[in-house]
Amino acid sequence: MLEIRELTRRFGATTAVDEVSFEVPAGQMTGFVGANGAGKTTTMRMVMGVLGVNGGEVLWQGRPISRLDRRTFGYMPEERGLYPKQPIIDQLVYVAQLKGMGRVAARTQVQELLERFGLGERAKDHLEKLSLGNQQRVQIIASVLPRPAALILDEPFSGLDPLAVDSMVDLLRDHTRDGIPVLFSSHQLDLVERLCDRLVVLANGRRVAAGTVSELRDAGVPRFRLVLGGDAGWVRDHAGLEVLDLEGTTALVEVRQDGAEQHLIAEATRRGDVHEFVRVRPALSEIYREATA
C-alpha cells in the first residue's frame, strides 16, 4: 500500500499542495481528480521523487519510501514523449535498463510487450514515425517496465481513442489483479467513476474528498425524492427538512434532523397516495462540483 501523509509543496509564496493525505491500497485503482492547477501533477511528482517536498512524507509498505522503491514504480509523466528519433525497441530497453534490468531480460520483455500491443512489427521504427495512439502505447509500455510494484500515471487516458482506452483499462486491471496499487489522475469523471475503486478529489492544493465511490455518494446529508398523488406544497412546512426543489407533486428534500424523513413519509401516507419515496445519491460529477466549488 502507498500512503501519502500531509504532503506539502510550496513554490515561492503559493502553496501548490497543502497537507494532502490519502492512501492507494494494494490491488485497487485510485482515481485522482481535480481542476487544472489543483495540485495533482505536483503530488504525483513528489510521490515519484522528481520534486522535493516541503513537508509530509510518502510511505511504501508502511515505511518511508526509498529511491530503490521508486525505481520499481511505473511512472507516466503528464506530457509524454520519449526520444522521437530513436527506434522504439532501443529506447524501451534503455528505460528498462535504467530501472535496473539486465540487457537481455529487458530485450525479451520489451519484445513481448510490443507484441502484446501489436507493435512487434514496428520495433525498429523511430518513435516519431508512429501514430499518436501508438506512441501512447509505447509510453504505456515504458511505464510498466519491468513489472512495476506500483503505477503512478498522470492523465493516462487523455488523447486516447475509445479502443485504446479499453486496452489501457485491461492493462491496468491486469496489474490490480496482481495486487498492484494504481494511482491515476484524470479529468474524465465518467471514466473515473467506471474504473475506480477509490477516489481522491483535490481542489486548490487541498484534499476535499476521498473514499470509495459509494462512500462518497453516501457521504453528506441524505436526500430523498417524494412523488405524491396530489400537490406536494405542504412539504415546505414540514419540520427538520430542507426543500431543495418542489414542482407539482414532486419534492426533493434534504434531511436536517435525524429521522425527519420517517415523519415525512408517515405524514405523506396520512395525506394520500405516495407514488415514490427514494434516497437520492448524488452523481460523482455533482460531488465533484460541490467539493471543488
Partner 1 sequence: MSTPSNTPSNTPDTGSGSAEPAWLLVTRREVVSRITDKSFLIGTALMVVMLVGFIGFTAWQDQKTDRVTLGATPDAVAMARAVADAAPRVDDQVEITLAELDDDAAARTALGESDVDAWLHPVADGWELTSESSEQDSLTDVVRTVVRQQVLAENASGAGTTVEALEAGSSVSTAFLRGDAEKAAVADAVGFVFVFLFYLAALIFGMQLASSVIEEKQSRIVEIIAAAIPLRHLLAGKVLGNTALALIQLLIYVAVGLVGLSFSPYKSYVPGLSGPAAWFIGFFVAGFIALACLWAVAGSLASRTEDLQTTSTPLTMLMLAIFFGGLSLDGRSQVIASFIPPVSAVVMPKRILSGGVAWWEPLVALGLLAVFAAITVWIGERLYRRALLQTGGRVSLRQAWSAAE
Please identify which residue in 29, 33, 48, 202 interacts with partner 1, judged by CB under 8 A.
48
d(Cα 286, Cα 282) in Å, to the nearest integer?
Answer: 6
| Cβ atoms of 225 and 231 closer than 8 Å | no
* 142 touches partner 1 by CB under 8 A: yes
* Nearest CB to partner 1, comparing residues 80 and 122: 80
Show contacts with partner 1 in window 163-202 (CB under 8 A): none
Which region, judged by CB under 8 A, interacts with partner 1, from 85-93, 185-193, 229-237, 247-255?
85-93
CA 190 remoteness from chain centre: 11
Q: How far is CA 47 from CA 4, 59, 72, in A?
A: 8, 9, 13
| C-alpha cell read off for 198 | 477509490
Q: Closest distance between partner 1 and the C-beta of residue 176, in Å?
A: 21
Please identify which residue in 36, 62, 79, 170 interacts with partner 1, judged by CB under 8 A.
79
Answer positive or negative: Cα dihedral of 128, 130, 131, 137: negative
* 153 touches partner 1 by CB under 8 A: no
Total Cβ atoms within 10 A of residue 166:
11
For residue 101, how many C-alpha atoms fall within 13 Å in the half-sphere facing its CB? 22
Closest CA to 255 of 271, 268, 239, 269: 239
* Nearest CB to partner 1, comparing residues 13 and 163: 13
Please identify which residue in 14, 61, 100, 158 interacts with partner 1, judged by CB under 8 A.
100
| Cβ atoms of 59 and 30 closer than 8 Å | no
* Nearest CB to partner 1, comparing residues 28 and 143: 143
* 73 touches partner 1 by CB under 8 A: yes
Please identify which residue in 3, 19, 26, 54 interacts with partner 1, judged by CB under 8 A.
54
Residues in contact with partner 1 by CB under 8 A are: 9-10, 45-46, 48-55, 57-58, 66-68, 70-71, 73, 75-86, 90, 94-95, 97-103, 142-143
